[in-house]
């Protein structure tokens, strides 16, 4: 453990904050969110736990910051992924299916993002101060707004329902991710009883089906009845 030296300038503080975030991100490449501990993070970053907490109020706030970072990285890549997968001349139903397939595929390799998103409301926000919770909820709303803006480019019939769809997709990414990662006991149960197989989820397949259903429903609800 290195001896702690207080950062004297805002630039030094930012360097130390980024170091803590980078070390935590590296841990998330090795283990799920639930296994990331402040003790191990402190050991790896070379600071006492109390000194890590000088820069972030809690483990959960560090993870919320990384969630926002991962979300923005995904959102930056998503327009290209969708543009290459959606045929602008296809029917609305076909574009809806293409949108769902491309969005699900874009998340297949983003395990850290999905894991963080699944923990956001159930764990991370519960252990953040009101100020931090509000800060990261504003960031989440902005990120959902970006997703809505991307969605409506390819599915203009969404209209004002685009943000509602984006919020629903965000919720379902976390839910489907959790259900597609069964415990060892549940895996053993599936193996012992093939009849339970219908309850087992494949993340990409289940998310694609869910997003297609949500998008089609949102479009139907945004279309005035004749």
| Same domain membership, residue 84 and residue 30 | no
| DSSP letter, residue 186 | H
Secondary structure class of 169 (helix, strand, coil): helix
| Same domain membership, residue 104 and residue 37 | no
* Chain centre to alpha carbon of residue 128: 18
pLDDT in tens, 152-172: 999 999 999 999 999 999 999
| Same domain membership, residue 51 and residue 68 | no
Confidence at residue 71, expressed as pLDDT on a 0 to 100 scale = 97
CA dihedral 172, 77, 66, 174 (to 10 degrees): 10
19-49 burial string, b = 16+ CB within 10 Å, else e? ebbebbbebbeeeebeebebeebbeebebee
Last residue of a domain, one of 11, 39, 56: 56
| Same domain membership, residue 71 and residue 43 | no
Provide the percentage of residues in the chain whose pLDDT is more than 90.
88
Average pLDDT over residues 86-92: 96
| Same domain membership, residue 40 and residue 129 | no
Confidence at residue 3, expressed as pLDDT on a 0 to 100 scale = 45
| Same domain membership, residue 62 and residue 50 | no
Average pLDDT over residues 145-151: 97
Confidence at residue 8, expressed as pLDDT on a 0 to 100 scale = 64
| Same domain membership, residue 90 and residue 30 | no
| Same domain membership, residue 83 and residue 28 | no
| Same domain membership, residue 194 and residue 101 | yes
Average pLDDT over residues 87-94: 96
Confidence at residue 4, expressed as pLDDT on a 0 to 100 scale = 45
Highest mean pLDDT among 2-6, 60-64, 197-201: 60-64
CATH of the domain at 181: 1.10.357.10
Confidence at residue 225, expressed as pLDDT on a 0 to 100 scale = 55
| Same domain membership, residue 38 and residue 99 | no
Last residue of a domain, one of 40, 56, 72: 56
pTM to 2 decimal places: 0.89
Non-local (6+) Cβ contacts of 30 within 8 A are: none
| Same domain membership, residue 194 and residue 177 | yes
Q: Of 99, 73, 74, 104, give the one whose Cα is nearest residue 84.
A: 99
Asked if residue 101 has pLDDT above 80, the reply is: yes
| DSSP letter, residue 175 | H
> Which alpha helices (H) appear in 48-183, and where do they start and end?
49-52, 59-83, 92-107, 111-119, 130-154, 162-179
CATH of the domain at 22: 1.10.10
Confidence at residue 11, expressed as pLDDT on a 0 to 100 scale = 85
- Indicate the pLDDT class of residue 12, thresholds 50, 70 and 90: confident
Confidence at residue 7, expressed as pLDDT on a 0 to 100 scale = 55
Average pLDDT over residues 116-138: 94
Domain of residue 104, residue span: 58-222
Contact of 219 with 157, CB cutoff 8 Å: yes
Confidence at residue 108, expressed as pLDDT on a 0 to 100 scale = 86
- Rounded-to-integer distance, Cα 60 and Cα 168, Å: 23
The count of structural domains within the chain is 2
Average pLDDT over residues 183-203: 91
| Same domain membership, residue 145 and residue 76 | yes
């Amino acid at each position: 453990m290195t001896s702690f030296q207080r950062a004297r300038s805002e630039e030094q503080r930012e360097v130390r904050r980024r170091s803590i975030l980078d070390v935590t991100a590296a841990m998330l490449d090795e283990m799920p969110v639930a296994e990331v501990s402040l003790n191990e993070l402190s050991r790896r970053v070379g600071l006492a736990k109390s000194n890590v907490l000088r820069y972030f109020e809690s483990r959960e706030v560090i993870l919320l910051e990384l969630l926002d970072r991962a979300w923005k990285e995904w959102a930056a890549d998503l327009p290209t992924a969708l543009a290459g997968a959606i045929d602008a001349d296809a029917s609305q139903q076909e574009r809806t299916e293409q949108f769902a397939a491309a969005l699900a595929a874009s998340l297949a390799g983003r395990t850290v993002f999905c894991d963080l998103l699944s923990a956001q409301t159930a764990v991370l926000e519960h252990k953040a101060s009101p100020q931090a919770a509000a800060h990261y909820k504003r960031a989440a709303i902005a990120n959902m707004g970006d997703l809505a803006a991307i969605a409506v480019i390819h599915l203009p019939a969404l209209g004002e329902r685009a943000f509602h769809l984006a919020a629903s997709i965000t919720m379902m990414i976390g839910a489907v991710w959790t259900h597609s990662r069964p415990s060892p006991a549940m895996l053993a149960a599936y193996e012992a009883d093939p009849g339970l197989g219908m309850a087992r989820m494949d993340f990409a397949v289940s998310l694609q089906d869910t997003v297609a259903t949500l998008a089609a429903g949102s479009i139907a609800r945004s279309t005035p009845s004749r």
